[in-house]
Amino acid sequence: MPASLAARLGHTFRDPHLLLQALTHRSYHYEHSAESSGHNERLEFLGDAVLDLVLSEWLMRSFPDTQEGTLSKWRASLVNEQTLSEVAKTLELNSTVRLGKSEEFTRDALRPRLLASVFEALIAAVYLDGGLAAAQKLIEPLFAKRIEGLSSTLEYAADFKTRLQEVTQGQFQGTVPEYKLTAADGPEHAKTFTSQVWLKQKQIGEGRGTSRKSAEQAAAQVALAQSEQWLEKQKGGV
């Protein structure tokens, strides 16, 4: 592990292979399968959960009088791909992630999804190596200013999924939207995803994006834009 990265992380790995796996994109793994011990997608899955846990507990502790709906909006704004990719850049993960040839040529302008995934995998690696306290030690300095800047007066307009869920729960007494991935087109390094959002067995929106999450956000945005029309129709069928 480069000394500079160790300093930025504030964590010395007992098992360096965890860090190496966290920094290995699947494009590199497939091109160097003989030497690679694995890529970071399973770690990304765990890191996402650890990040949610740490931030959720932090938000509840910091804002004891704030309602769950607001806390959910704040957490969503902290863990979206754009925010996580910006945090990844502060750690210079864009220069340390191991990429295959199909991704290497985009290193100077890596997709937010890829950077966010590397960061989440890194959180998981630290968690597995040093436990929850080590993960908190990594996460908290990186998000401190963002959490200090939170305010109940802020609107997170980009979080269309949360807004749509609030609207539908209010109208249909607990019924929540469901998202279906319907397509993933294009080469591995530049896929486009298509997602549909359904409510009460009816499709209410469709969107496309460079990741599954962004496609779901786009679908929710479409549904919100048409909300007055389809909500009245749905309400009449209840």
Q: Is 48 a catalytic residue?
A: yes
Looking up tokens 């109940």 gives 152
Q: Which residue among 44, 103, 120, 216 is the active-site one?
A: 120
Quote the mean pLDDT of the chain.
Answer: 83
Q: What is the mean pLDDT of residues 213-233?
A: 75
**Sheet with 202-209: strands ordered across:** 178-185, 192-199, 202-209
Residue partners of 122: CB distance under 8 A and separation at least 6: 9, 19, 22, 23, 43, 47, 91, 93, 138
Helix H or strand E encompassing 195: strand 192-199
Report which DSSP code applies to 190: G
pLDDT score for 101: 80
pLDDT, greater one: 143 or 162: 143
pLDDT in tens, 86-120: 899 999 888 888 888 877 767 777 788 888 999 99
Q: Please tell me whether the overall predicted TM-score, pTM, comes out greater than 0.75 for this model.
A: no
The CA-CA-CA angle for residues 88, 39, 110, to 5°, reads: 35
Are 215 and 203 in contact by the 8 Å Cβ rule? The answer is no
pLDDT, greater one: 5 or 10: 10
pLDDT score for 238: 45
pLDDT above 90 for 138 = yes
Q: Which residue among 48, 103, 159, 216 is the active-site one?
A: 48
pLDDT score for 122: 95
DSSP per residue over 38-104, as a string?
--SHHHHHHHHHHHHHHHHHHHHHH-TTS-HHHHHHHHHHHHSHHHHHHHHHHTTHHHHSB--HHHH
pLDDT score for 157: 47
- 166 three-state secondary structure: helix
pLDDT, greater one: 52 or 7: 52
Q: Is 120 a catalytic residue?
A: yes
